[in-house]
A and B are shown apart, each in its own frame.
Chain A
Amino acid sequence: MVERRVMGLRIASVALAALATTCTLDPVQSEAVADLGGEAPGVAPGPLHRPGQPCLVCHDGSTAQPAMSVGGTVYGVVGSASALSGASVELTAENGATFEATTNAAGNFYVEASAWQPVYPLRVAVAFGGLTSTMSTIIGRDGSCAACHVDPPSRISAGRVYLAPSAALLPDAGAP
């Protein structure tokens, strides 16, 4: 009888642990994750996946790994869907601490939470090929660029994060 109880407790513990690692009990967060939809065909989960989506919805330390403190996608030209690879994203926290990340082939960049936890508000600049674009406002507290920067621009979104205001001003990839 006692053995059965112990076994039952073990099974319940394992089930609970599995539940905790595979899903969240927060319906708002669950909905936010569901709203992101599935993976794009041919793109496996990893640094190149889901460009333009709010990274920290999942990469919050519990739903998906790695946990991120800041993450987003940079595009070359305003209004364009062409990602900008190799751009430097320079982050400056309120206490003066800085962190630099580089965009990958999908235009994605991210900062692992274990590497840097910024003190908000944050200021951000994107640099590439000698051109630097500085965000005109601060980031109050959300490390996901795409929480605010979604396409198209509207009264509640500044549009995608971009480097150049026009294609003519976009530096060549090989430029210094």
Chain B
Amino acid sequence: MRLARDVCVLALALSACAAPDPNATTPLDGPDRASFDSVQAFLDHRCGTLDCHGTRYRNLRLWGHDGMRLAFGDVPGASPTTTAEVDASYAAVVGLEPEIMNAVVADHGANPERLTLVRKARGTEKHAGGAIVSVGDVRDVCITSWLSGATDETACAAALVYP
């Protein structure tokens, strides 16, 4: 009896210490890339300036016209945002918390505050830039509608000039 118990404890301990599978991957089923353009335009404008997320010193890095540029030779505030910059910003946003992003997308955008992206933007989690959006305003809707799979293009367009 005692031996069996010890073997179980040992087995549990060994399984807890097992090395992670080096080939394990998390499939990325993020929200739609095609409808991210308008969301990116808003994020670039409001969050992606050089003194905020348009810098290599942030975990969430955004690229585009209003901030950090992807290609050498492009300058902030000059040429329009490139497709490569939208791709890079998409990868940054979706890849920040891939497992949670997958879950939110699978739930059609329900409970988006599971994402740090949304909590920080809403100011419900400490954010150096403060609260950027309020629940239900056009800026919030721009992001959360994209997470739900039906980007509200009107909200995103309004978010660019809000308030």
A contact set with B: CB distance below 8 Å: 94, 120-121, 135-142, 147-148, 153-159
Q: How far is the CA of A147 from the CA of B47 in the complex (A)?
A: 16
Q: Tell me which residues from 63 to 106 in chain B have a Cβ below 8 Å from any Cβ of chain A.
A: 65-78
A155 in contact with B51 (CB, 8 Å): no
Q: Is the interface of A mostly helix, strand, loop or mixed?
A: loop
Q: Determine the chain B residues whose CB is within 8 A of the CB of A136 once the complex forms.
A: 66, 77
Q: Determine the chain B residues whose CB is within 8 A of the CB of A157 once the complex forms.
A: 50, 75-76
Q: Is the interface of B mostly helix, strand, loop or mixed?
A: loop
Q: Does B128 sit within 8 A of A, measured CB to CB?
A: yes
Q: How far is the CA of A139 from the CA of B52 in the complex (A)?
A: 9
Q: Give 17 pairs: A residue, B residue, CB < 8 Å, sorted on A.
A: A94-B163, A137-B45, A138-B46, A138-B49, A138-B66, A139-B51, A140-B46, A140-B129, A141-B128, A148-B49, A148-B50, A148-B51, A155-B69, A155-B73, A156-B55, A158-B77, A158-B78
Q: Determine the chain A residues whose CB is within 8 A of the CB of B163 once the complex forms.
A: 94
Q: How far is the CA of A159 from the CA of B163 in the complex (A)?
A: 28
Q: How far is the CA of A134 from the CA of B68 in the complex (A)?
A: 19
Q: Determine the chain A residues whose CB is within 8 A of the CB of B46 once the complex forms.
A: 121, 138, 140
B77 in contact with A155 (CB, 8 Å): no
The 8 Å CB contact of B49, one of A139, A153, A154, A159, is A139
Interface centre among B45, B50, B67, B71 (most CB of A within 10 A): B50
